[in-house]
Structure 1
Amino acid sequence: MPNRVYISFLRMPLLIRILFIAILVFLTFGVSIHLLEPQTFPTVFDGIWWAIITASTVGYGDYVPHSILGRITALILILLGVGFVSSYFGTLAAAAVTKQDALSEGKIPFKGSGHIVIIGWNERSKELISKLIQFPQMIVLIDDTLETNPVHSRYVHFIQGKGHVDETIIKSDIEKAEKVLITADRGSEELQADMNSILTLLTIKGLCSQVKCIVEILTAEQVINALRAGADEVIQSNKLTSVFMINSLHSNGDGLLSNVVHQLQERRLSSHSVDEAYIGKTFGECCQELMLNGLLLIGVKRGEETLLNPSHSISIEKHDELLTFK
């Protein structure tokens, strides 16, 4: 039995072991000085108080041993107790620094809910994170090329590792995440980058099928594979870039589309289920009512079809979704 207790004690964290030993020292010397000088230390609590104050080198002087044996006990306490107290606080400080370093280096798992997981560090995710932390919302950034957290914000938790490894994804508390954004690695060949994104998507969906995943795909051929892998939404960034280029070629160089997109960065596009009050009304009537609430109605999502700026005379149906900017 004593051997089991000793083994269990050795398995405790170093900080806890030092604390237990220090408490034992305080109790032992507190009781001892009470027994040696009961007139100076009338209660055991007085003795323990003196032992703690003496070992911590505070030395109030409210209790002082007068006998030779009491002073020898005090000397032993100073030599023994100060070492344990110093060790405890030194270990505590070292543990705090070690944990802070581990947190910065992405070695600490995230615990929380309702967060957004972003996989891949690049200019796109950097810009996105800078916008999201203004709301604010907790973000878990996963990347295997970074050594430390690149964003100094309490709303960004960094995890170092590859996105297609189960252990890395589990550290992000994926089951409680709101959404996952998988960005493409533009440093790799486009097809290889898409394969890595789809592999990451399969890993996430295998661990938590219900989490919503948004995937950036570079090649048009891999869009269907991303959807087959379970992507809830696919962003074809190269296609979006080509739209900008075509607009620039056919414009007068006024950068109108760029200005519009810049304005949209400060606003949110969202979809809303139709309230009963809007069912049967025309698109134009809904536009006017929503505008009074600070919402700009730009279209209607009807099944798989999205109607942008439809005829103002079309009627809103029960299962439609209204697309608005706020």
Structure 2
Amino acid sequence: MLQNVYFRILRWPIIIKLLLLIFGLIISFGIAIHYVEPKQFPTIFTGIWWAVITTATVGYGDVYPITVKGRILGIFLVLTGAGVVSAYFASIAASTIRIQNAAVKGTKMFTGRNHIIVVGWNGRSKNVIDQWLDLDKNQAIVLIDDTLDRNPYPTHQVHFVKGKASVDETLYRAGLKSAKYILITADQNENESHADMGSILILLAVKGFHPDIYCVVEILMNENVINAKRAGADEVIQTNAQSSYIMINSLLSHGMSDTILMMLDHIKGNHLKYIPMTERWNGKYFEEISTYLKEERKLLIGLKRGDQTIINPPSHFQILTSDQLLVIAN
């Protein structure tokens, strides 16, 4: 049994072992000096106080040994205790540096909860992170990427995990089990087909690891949208389709791209969003609810019923409790 205890102690962190050794030395020398010079050190606590001050090399001089035996004991304490204390603080400093390096290089595990995971480092993911940092200073964000060598954000609010997001070990280090949302962006270093296959593979790994997490996936090719939904995507961002729609609107109505970007920018003011229906509006018509919302500076432009989005319905279109209202609001 003693052997088992010994091997367990050997597995303890070096900082804990050094700290226990320091306590043992201080208590031992404190007791010893009390018995060697009982007049100078009338209590064991006085001896321990002297051992602490001597080990820390402070040397208040309020109590000190006066006999040869006591001074020899003090020499041994300085030679052993000061060295152990120095090793202890050196270990703390080295451990702190290791933790900082691990956080910067992406090898440290994230231990928080209710965070947002962003997969892939590119211009789109950077804009998402920047906007979220502006919107909520307290929201923790985890960035997963296998091409970066260090965390691109100096702030502790963004935690970097280096690795492939399709690997369970990487998702575990990112704290996927306790995350709120995950955004999977397309790999900018691959062609469209390979990028979509990589995104869907990551999606399968994510849903296999945490089936209930809300997952938004960026898909480049229209034919792969159905595959992403089959793989469990809660929402699919069709980057190419959205970009082409903005382009055609800009050609038909000059300056429309700036207007659309402003409506989608949560920082610059008015933006599109869904708001839930309330019981007091149940059964009322589109025009009536639109009037109510105008008083709150919200412009009603449509609604979402199930999977169907209805834009600018007739004035006497009846709204149901289960509908979500699409509004432009600040």
Give me the TM-score of the superposition, normalised by structure 2. 0.94
| Partner of residue 278 from structure 1, selected from 276, 281, 284 | 281
Paired amino acid for 2:272: L
1:131-142 correspondence to structure 2 within 5 Å: 131-134=131-134, 135-136=136-137, 137-142=139-144
Distance 2:324 2:62 in 1: 76
Counterpart in the other structure of 2:313 = 310
The farther-off stretch of 191-200 and 100-109 is 100-109
Residue 34 of structure 2 aligns with which residue? 34
SS in 2 for 1:298: strand
How far does the alpha carbon of each residue in 1:50-104 deviate from its partner, in whole angstroms, 9 at most, with x for none?
1011011011111111111101110110011100000000100110111011011
Contact 2:303 2:311 in 1 (8 A): yes
Most deviating of 164-173 and 83-92: 164-173
Identify the residue that residue 224 of structure 1 maps to in structure 2.
Answer: 226
* Residues 268 and 207 (structure 1), Cα distance of their counterparts in 2 relative to 1, 3 Å cut: farther
Tell me, yes or no, if the aligned pair for 2:274 and 2:325 is still in contact at 8 Å.
Answer: yes
What's the CA shift for 1:41? 0.8
1:191 maps to which of 190, 193, 215: 193
Find the counterpart in structure 2 of residue 117 from structure 1.
117
Please say if 1:288 is aligned against 2:315: no
Q: Mind listing any 5+ residue stretches in structure 2 that lack a counterpart?
A: none
Q: Which moved more, 1:91-100 or 1:292-301?
A: 292-301
Identity of aligned residues (%): 45
> Which position in structure 1 is the counterpart of 2:247?
245
Secondary structure at 1:213 match in 2: strand
Question: In the alignment, is residue 19 of structure 1 matched against residue 22 of structure 2?
Answer: no
Q: Would you say 1:298 and 2:301 are equivalent positions?
A: yes
**Range 4-13 or range 186-195, more displaced:** 4-13
Q: Offset of 1:126 from its aligned partner?
A: 0.2
Equivalent runs, 1:1-326 vs 2, <5 Å: 1-134=1-134, 135-136=136-137, 137-252=139-254, 255-265=255-265, 266=267, 267-326=270-329
- SS class of match (2:237): strand
Which range is displaced more, 102-111 or 241-250?
241-250
- Superposition deviation, residue 244 in structure 1: 2.1
Displacement after TM superposition at 1:43 (Å): 0.8
CA contact (8 A) 2:142 2:161 kept: yes
One-letter code of the match for 2:112? G
How far is the alpha carbon of 1:313 from its aligned partner? 2.3
More displaced stretch, 302-311 vs 62-71: 302-311
Aligned in 2, Cα 1:270/1:185: closer, same or farther, shift over 3 Å?
same
CA root-mean-square deviation: 1.4
- What one-letter code is carried by the residue in structure 2 that aligns with 1:166? D
Q: Quick one: structure 1 residues 248 and 272, their matched pair in 2 at CA, closer, same or farther if it must change by over 3 Å?
A: closer
Deviation of 1:149 after TM superposition, in Å, equals 0.8
Q: Secondary structure at the match of 1:277?
A: helix
For 1:60 and 1:219, locate their aligned partners in 2 and report how far apart those are by CA, in whole Å: 75
Residue range with higher mean Cα deviation, 265-274 or 142-151:
265-274
Determine if contact 2:25/2:81 at 8 Å carries over to the other structure.
Answer: yes
**How many angstroms apart in 2 are the aligned matches of 1:51 and 1:268?**
67
Q: Once structures 1 and 2 are overlaid, which stretch shifts more, 109-118 or 46-55?
A: 109-118
Letter in 1 for 2:251: L
Gaps of 5+ in 1: none
